[in-house]
Structure 1
Amino acid sequence: MKTDLQLKHDVEAELEWEPAVTASNVGVEVKDGVVTLAGHLSSLGEKVAAEQAARRVGGVRALVVELEVRLPGQDVRTDEDIAHIARSVLRWTAGLSDGAVQVQVERGHVVLRGAVDWPWQSQTAVRAITQLRGVADVTDRIEVRHTVAPEQISQDILDAMRRHADREARHIQVTVTEGTVRLSGKVHSFAERAVARGAAWAAPGVRAVVDDLTVE
């Protein structure tokens, strides 16, 4: 098991390795395997990239994000401009029907509302808006209409995991409550953990995924 000092070094190294992040703007603190990221970044996309980089590091038990987005002057946009561009981007995004997602903007903070049939459609909308210049934050309030019996969701996820990593599927427990999937158990790598999360998100009827998996 890594010490907190080793984990801090690995997270800092991963941030340096991530080309989308200016690592010098991110402070890293670790206590009992819980990693805290703090600092100021120039875009929401960079903030998301920093979070993803930290999560890739083995030994991270939990992640606390205290990163603030401070847009450089040339990237500042009016709320009206952001709303206009965001609506256009969503209209041109494959997999989203026209008008399925509505946009609200206040001081660069975007709230997405609406209803879609599948969880991946909501994720697609959030990713598309996250990369826009001038966006400081995105809140996802999109509802997923598709409903499936919990036992069917659980079986679909386990079947998908067995197709990708049969060994790990035997050690993963899946529980479903009102469309929220909780994954627990142990896997042998972060790649296998990613397979499990991907399988959960792809299953019909899933509204949220809670990842309690541990990497041995």
Structure 2
Amino acid sequence: MKTDKQLKQEIEEELEYDPAVNSADIGVEVSGRVVTLSGHPTNYAEKLAAEKAAQRVAGVKAVVVEMEVRLPRADVRSDEDTANAVRSMLHWTVGLSEEAVKVQVEKGWVTLSGAVPNAHLSHLATRTVSHMRGVTGVSNLIDVSSGESVNNIAEKIGRALQRHAEREAKHIQINVRDGSVTLTGKVGSYAERSAVRGAAWSAPGVRAVIDDLDIE
């Protein structure tokens, strides 16, 4: 098993390796294989990239995010300008109208609400907005409306796990209630955990995914 010192070194190397991250913006501390990221990334996309970089390192048990986005002066926009830009991106890139998804912006932090027919559109909306200049954070409150039954959702997730992560599927339990999926069991790494979560989110009718998976 890697020591905390080894994990810290490997995470710092991974941050330097990732072209989406300026490692000088991010501080790394490790205790009991739990990683704490601090610092001031210059945009929200960099903050997300730093978090994912830490999760990729084998042996990491959990990641605590204490980073705060500080936009360069050239990227600072009024909340009204940011809201208008977000609406345009959602319309032209994701195909979502103002009636489907509402946009609220406060100090660069974007909150999305409304309803879409599947979780894929909800995730695509969040990912699109997350990479926009001038955005300091994103909250996704979009509801997913679907006529899928509980049994259909659980069955489709189970089949997806068999296709994407067959080894992990044997150790994972899936519970579905009102479109909310709870995942329990054990996986071997953050990458496997991400694959399982992705399979759950991809199923039609899923509104939320509660990740109670443990990393061995």
Q: d(CA) in 2 for partners of 1:111 and 1:81?
A: 15
For the 8 Å contact 2:35–2:63, the answer to whether it is kept is yes
SS in 1 for 2:40: strand
Q: d(CA) in 2 for partners of 1:15 and 1:88?
A: 32
Q: d(CA) in 1 for partners of 2:67 and 2:89?
A: 26
Tell me the residue number matched to 1:166.
166
Q: d(CA) in 2 for partners of 1:95 and 1:80?
A: 21
Q: d(CA) in 2 for partners of 1:107 and 1:184?
A: 37
For the 8 Å contact 2:109–2:136, the answer to whether it is kept is yes
If the length of structure 1 is used for normalisation, what is the TM-score? 0.91
Q: d(CA) in 1 for partners of 2:67 and 2:164?
A: 35
Stretches (4+) displaced over 6 A = none
For the 8 Å contact 1:153–1:176, the answer to whether it is kept is yes
Q: What do residues 11-52 of structure 1 show as CA deviations (whole Å, max 9, x unaligned)?
A: 111111111111111111112221110001110111111111
Tell me the residue number matched to 1:85.
85
**Residues 1:146 and 2:146 aligned together:** yes
**Residues 1:179 and 2:163 aligned together:** no
SS in 2 for 1:69: coil
Q: d(CA) in 1 for partners of 2:67 and 2:127?
A: 18
Tell me the residue number matched to 1:204.
204
SS in 2 for 1:152: helix
If the length of structure 2 is used for normalisation, what is the TM-score? 0.91
Code of the residue aligned with 1:42 in structure 2: it is T
What RMSD in Å do the two structures reach over aligned CA positions? 1.8
Q: d(CA) in 1 for partners of 2:40 and 2:88?
A: 29
**Residues 1:49 and 2:49 aligned together:** yes
For the 8 Å contact 1:147–1:179, the answer to whether it is kept is no
Q: Which ranges in structure 2 are unaligned for 5 or more consecutive residues?
A: none
Mapping 1:112-123, distance limit 5 Å: 112-123=112-123
Q: d(CA) in 2 for partners of 1:188 and 1:215?
A: 5
Question: Greater CA deviation, 47-56 or 2-11?
Answer: 2-11
SS in 2 for 1:134: coil
